[in-house]
Structure 1
């Protein structure tokens, strides 16, 4: 299948985890993909076989000027931007009560998790408006809906992403641009594989399916959300939680 043939996508956080899986999915479906990540070497190692189909950009995603430069580079290289998927994210320091959280760490988490989504969407929306078409997907988290104790910075930043998604979805609903979010629970990644079994059990016990989601499941749902087929859903947060989400 070549569902994304002729389309150009930007994927942030593409060197690992969910971003890596989504980028491979889009490339396999015929998209040309601009890969944005701080780990430029990782991008080159993972995607070298795609040659002209990819554009790898090493970037500090929290630098608004650099983000705008990257968006301009993508348009100059590929001619347009049809899709933006924001996957970059950090948890920050966890297992802390709110009064123990440092302002510096909270601000860093917000810069990476929320402000980067604002910077990238701000940079690409004018191009999408000009062509009267676009698909934007922000990767949020179940923590942004329910709040995880001990994870104030992460939970609040992902809640902010969901709030921005609702605003942007309404603002561009008549211009052929959809803006949605994806809220995963625990996804099986190398990071999770390295955790103690008891910690993984604690997290998965909250999930009615009693397992982690897979990267393939995340990539498949993300691909649908940014496809032409998904034309009447915007400002919405899709759950990927194995039944954990309650609203």
Structure 2
């Protein structure tokens, strides 16, 4: 019996196979790879086909293949393909990796539909968005085909809904956080001390001083004889006045 691999939290919460995944799968596999692998195993059992389980065993019947799942990122037509390595009996020369099982376009379509449903369940927005541009290459469907249009609409709607939910979540929590901060300040205030009210530093007297400074500058600019000394003095005084506002 192959050993049971340690699964990460996402796949543990949302498994795609009703049995534990075997240790044939590479330990470093992502939750998405585990989900797709589980989908393949579950689908094979439902259809009464066990070719994948047979392929996971070495032809010699002693060793178990170390396999990984092709997610179709670089080669969309290899989506869901099983890859074996380090097996001189089953792999190519020099123990090169060898695709053990390539699926037909119709089979890839079925796997993709199940995988998309799982991604929607776990709210994997980025992964869903990345699949939109790869539907046609994975399934080899024409963009005018009804199955293609259905999948693309489903993906786009799911991404739009997740974006909307995320935006609503952020907008609904930000004001609460700000209110929580204000409330915490109020709670720490001593008894009998009222909330501080905002008071402007621009009192009528200071505004009048500022207006007077502006008039002096205007007069200095209009009189060439005052331009150097008077303007410089007025500017300094205005600067000092403005400093008192801060």
TM-score (norm 1): 0.25
Select the structure with the greater relative contact order (CA < 8 A; seq sep ≥ 6): 1
More strand by share: 1
Q: Which has the larger radius of gyration?
A: 2
More helix by share: 2
TM-score (norm 2): 0.25
